C-alpha cells in the first residue's frame, strides 16, 4: 500500500531542483521607472528526499530574487549553501531528520541549520536567517552564499528569524532562544555599522518557542508565551513541546540598552503569536499589534484547543490584535482588531517602532495547508480595511512594502509578493499600488520557473 504524499512535498509546496538566471522577463503592465532594487524571498526547498516525517520548516533554504531596473526585471534562484547543505550535496542524499523526526533511520542526529526562514538587510549586508543557528551572508545581486556570519566571532547565540532594524538610529536588535537549558534567551544589539555591541541574558522560567519580538523607539518587547519545552513530558512519552493553554502569556518590556534587571513583565490571557506587526510608545503605554492565536499545533504540539458546551473551539486561527501595556499602572488591555484570519504582517519599515496608521497581512485561505488568497491593508487609524484578492485558484505570499523614494505619506509605495496560479502551474511577481490595493496589479512579472510557496522576503534598494 502506498503511503499518502506529504502535502508539503506536493503541488506548489514541492521543491524545484534547478537554479536559474533569467533576464528580461515578460511584464504585464508597467514597472515604475523609479522602482530600482531587488525583491528577495526565502523559503524551504529540500535538496533531497527527506528522511523520516517531513515538516514544511525542514527544507533547505532557497532564495528567489527579482531584480528590477529601469522598468525591466530579471530572476534568479539559489540555494543557501549551509554547511549541512554542502555535506548532503557531497553525500548525494539527506543526512539529517527534521522537526517531527529528529533521528530517523539513516540520519546522523541533531538539527541542520537550513537558513530557510527570512532575510534582513543591514549595513549593506544581506543575511539569510533560521532561528536555530547563526545567519548566512548572501551576495547581492548574485544570491550566492558567502558563508555563515558571526559578527566577527562575537555571536554566542542563535539569531531570530526576525531582527528589527531601527530606521532612525540604524541599530539592529535580535535575540536567540534555547529550549532546553538556561539562559533561555539572549538579547543582542548591533550598531548601525554592523558591530555587535552587547549581548545580555533574559531569564525565563522555562524554555519557550519565541519566534518574533518587537521594538519601539526606546524599548524592546519579548513574548514569553506558553508554547513550552519540558523534558519531563518527553520522559512520559509525550511531546516535549506543547502549548499550555492554562498558562498566561507574559510580555517583557525593557529599555533597548537594558538587561534582565530592567525588564518589566506583564501578564495577559494565554495565546500564541508567530509574528508582530509593530509596536510603539503612546504616553505611559507601550502598544503592540500582532497576529494572535488562542493556541498552536506547530511542530506537532497540542494546540490548546479545548472542549466546552459539547463543541471544540479551534484556536489556531491568527487574528490581528492590539495590546496596551501601561508602564505607570501595570495594567494590560487587549483588543481584537479584525475577525478575518491573517498572517505574515508587514508595515512600511521606515516607521518601525513608531506609531503607524497602516499594516498589511496575507489573508488566510480556507485550505488544509497554509495559503494566502489575498492581501489585506489595515487602516488602523479609522478601523477599516481593504483587500486585494489574488483570484480563483491563485495563492500568494507575504506582502512586502516598498516605499517610494522621497514619499511623505506612510502608504506611498508598492506591495510585492509572489503569486502562483494552481490551474496554470505558473508563478509571477505582482506589484500593487499600496494606496489602491483593490486595483489590479500595476505590473505582473511573469516567471518561466515555478516559485514554490515560502516564508519571508525583503526589498533591497538600488543594487
Average pLDDT score over residue span 45-50: 96
Tell me, yes or no, whether 73 lies in a domain: no
pLDDT at res. 301: 66
Q: CA-CA distance, 112 to 102, in Å (whole number)?
A: 10
pLDDT at res. 302: 57
Tell me, yes or no, whether 236 lies in a domain: yes
Nearest CA-CA partner of 428 in 404, 400, 393, 396: 396
Q: CA-CA distance, 410 to 113, in Å (whole number)?
A: 36
Average pLDDT score over residue span 112-121: 98
Tell me, yes or no, whether 250 lies in a domain: yes
Tell me, yes or no, whether 298 lies in a domain: yes
Question: How many percent of the chain have pLDDT more than 90?
Answer: 88
Tell me, yes or no, whether 293 lies in a domain: yes
- Is pLDDT at 356 greater than 50 in this prediction? yes
pLDDT at res. 1: 39
pLDDT at res. 335: 97
Average pLDDT score over residue span 418-422: 98
Q: CA-CA distance, 273 to 315, in Å (whole number)?
A: 12
Containing structural domain, residue 212: 205-305+313-337
Identify the sign of the CA torsion 125, 129, 133, 137.
negative
Residues 402 and 40 sit within 8 Å (Cβ to Cβ): no
pLDDT at res. 234: 81
pLDDT at res. 462: 86
Mean pLDDT for all residues in the chain? 94
Our measurement of the distance from residue 86's CA atom to the centroid of its chain's CA atoms, rounded to an integer in Å, reads 25
The total number of structural domains in the chain stands at 1
Helix (H) and strand (E) counts for the chain? 2, 36
Question: How many percent of the chain have pLDDT more than 70?
Answer: 96
pLDDT at res. 314: 58
- DSSP character string of 340-399: S-EEEEE--GGGTTS--SEEEEEEEPSSSS--EEEEEEEETTTTEEEEEE--TTEEE---
Q: CA-CA distance, 305 to 295, in Å (whole number)?
A: 7
pLDDT at res. 305: 45
H or E stretch covering 170:
none
- Is pLDDT at 2 greater than 80 in this prediction? no
pLDDT at res. 297: 85
pLDDT at res. 463: 66
Tell me, yes or no, whether 38 lies in a domain: no
HSE-up of 122 (CA within 13 Å, CB side)? Answer: 32
Residue whose cell numbers read 518527553: 234
Tell me, yes or no, whether 260 lies in a domain: yes
Q: CA-CA distance, 88 to 79, in Å (whole number)?
A: 13
Burial state string for 271-288 with b = 16 or more CB within 10 A and e = fewer than 16: bbbbbbbbbbbeeebbbb
- pLDDT, greater one: 184 or 302: 184
pLDDT at res. 237: 83
CB atoms within 10 A of CB 236: 10
Q: CA-CA distance, 183 to 205, in Å (whole number)?
A: 10
Dihedrals phi, psi of 11, to nearest 5 degrees: 50, -135
Residue whose cell numbers read 540520519: 107
- Is pLDDT at 303 greater than 70 in this prediction? no
pLDDT at res. 4: 55
pLDDT, tens digit, 9 for 90 and up, residues 211-225: 999 999 999 999 999
Tell me, yes or no, whether 333 lies in a domain: yes
Average pLDDT score over residue span 130-147: 97
pLDDT class of 315 with cuts at 50, 70, 90: low
pLDDT at res. 104: 84
H or E stretch covering 402:
strand 400-403
- Is pLDDT at 402 greater than 50 in this prediction? yes
pLDDT, tens digit, 9 for 90 and up, residues 179-194: 999 999 999 999 999 9
Strands (E) in 80-165, as ranges, are 118-122, 125-129, 136-138, 145-148, 164-165
Nearest CA-CA partner of 194 in 127, 119, 125: 125
Residues 380 and 361 sit within 8 Å (Cβ to Cβ): no
Residues constituting the chain: 463
Cell of 156: 554566542
pLDDT class of 369 with cuts at 50, 70, 90: very high
pLDDT, tens digit, 9 for 90 and up, residues 225-257: 999 999 888 888 888 899 999 999 999 999 999
pLDDT at res. 100: 87
Amino acid at each position: 500500500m502506498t503511503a499518502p504524499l506529504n502535502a508539503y512535498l506536493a503541488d506548489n509546496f514541492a521543491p524545484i531542483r534547478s537554479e536559474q538566471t533569467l533576464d528580461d522577463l515578460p511584464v504585464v503592465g508597467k514597472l515604475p521607472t523609479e522602482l530600482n532594487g531587488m525583491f528577495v524571498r526565502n523559503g524551504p526547498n529540500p535538496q533531497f528526499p527527506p528522511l523520516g516525517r517531513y515538516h514544511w520548516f525542514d527544507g533547505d533554504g532557497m532564495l528567489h530574487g527579482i531584480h528590477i531596473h529601469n522598468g525591466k526585471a530579471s530572476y534568479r534562484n539559489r540555494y543557501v549553501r549551509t554547511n549541512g547543505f554542502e555535506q548532503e550535496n557531497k553525500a548525494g542524499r539527506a543526512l539529517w531528520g527534521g522537526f517531527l523526526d529528529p533521528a530517523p533511520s539513516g540520519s546522523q542526529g541533531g538539527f541542520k541549520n537550513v537558513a530557510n526562514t527570512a532575510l534582513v538587510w543591514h549595513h549593506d549586508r544581506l543575511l539569510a536567517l533560521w532561528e536555530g543557528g547563526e545567519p548566512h551572508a548572501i551576495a547581492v545581486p548574485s544570491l550566492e552564499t558567502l558563508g555563515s556570519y558571526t559578527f566577527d566571532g562575537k555571536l554566542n547565540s542563535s539569531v531570530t528569524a526576525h531582527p528589527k532594524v531601527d530606521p532612525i538610529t540604524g541599530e539592529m536588535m535580535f535575540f536567540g532562544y534555547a529550549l532546553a537549558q538556561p539562559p533561555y534567551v539572549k538579547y543582542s544589539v548591533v550598531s548601525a555599522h554592523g558591530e555587535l555591541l552587547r549581548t545580555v541574558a533574559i531569564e525565563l522560567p522555562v524554555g519557550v518557542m519565541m519566534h518574533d519580538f518587537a521594538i519601539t523607539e526606546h524599548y524592546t518587547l519579548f513574548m514569553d508565551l506558553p508554547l513550552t519545552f519540558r523534558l519531563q513530558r518527553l520522559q512520559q512519552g509525550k511531546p516535549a513541546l506543547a502549548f499550555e493553554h492554562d498558562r498566561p502569556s507574559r510580555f517583557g518590556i525593557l529599555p533597548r540598552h537594558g538587561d534582565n534587571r530592567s525588564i518589566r513583565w506583564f501578564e495577559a490571557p494565554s495565546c500564541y503569536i508567530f509574528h508582530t506587526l509593530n509596536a510603539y510608545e503612546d504616553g505611559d503605554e507601550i502598544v503592540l499589534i500582532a497576529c494572535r492565536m488562542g493556541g498552536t499545533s506547530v511542530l506537532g504540539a497540542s494546540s490548546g484547543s479545548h472542549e466546552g458546551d459539547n463543541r471544540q473551539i479551534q484556536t489556531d486561527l491568527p487574528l490581528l490584535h492590539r495590546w496596551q501595556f501601561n508602564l505607570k499602572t501595570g495594567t494590560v488591555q487587549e483588543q481584537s482588531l479584525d475577525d478575518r484570519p491573517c498572517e505574515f504582517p508587514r508595515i512600511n519599515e521606515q516607521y518601525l517602532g513608531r506609531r503607524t496608521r497602516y499594516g498589511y497581512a496575507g489573508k488566510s485561505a480556507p485550505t488544509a495547508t497554509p495559503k494566502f488568497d489575498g492581501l489585506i491593508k489595515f487602516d488602523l487609524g479609522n478601523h477599516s480595511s481593504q483587500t486585494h484578492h489574488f483570484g480563483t485558484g491563485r495563492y500568494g505570499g507575504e506582502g512586502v512594502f516598498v516605499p517610494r523614494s522621497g514619499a511623505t505619506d506612510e502608504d506611498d509605495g508598492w506591495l510585492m509578493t509572489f503569486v502562483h496560479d494552481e490551474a496554470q502551474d505558473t508563478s509571477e511577481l505582482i506589484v500593487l499600488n499600496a494606496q489602491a490595493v483593490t486595483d489590479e496589479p500595476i505590473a505582473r512579472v511573469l516567471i518561466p520557473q515555478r516559485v514554490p510557496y515560502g516564508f519571508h522576503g525583503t526589498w533591497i534598494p538600488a543594487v
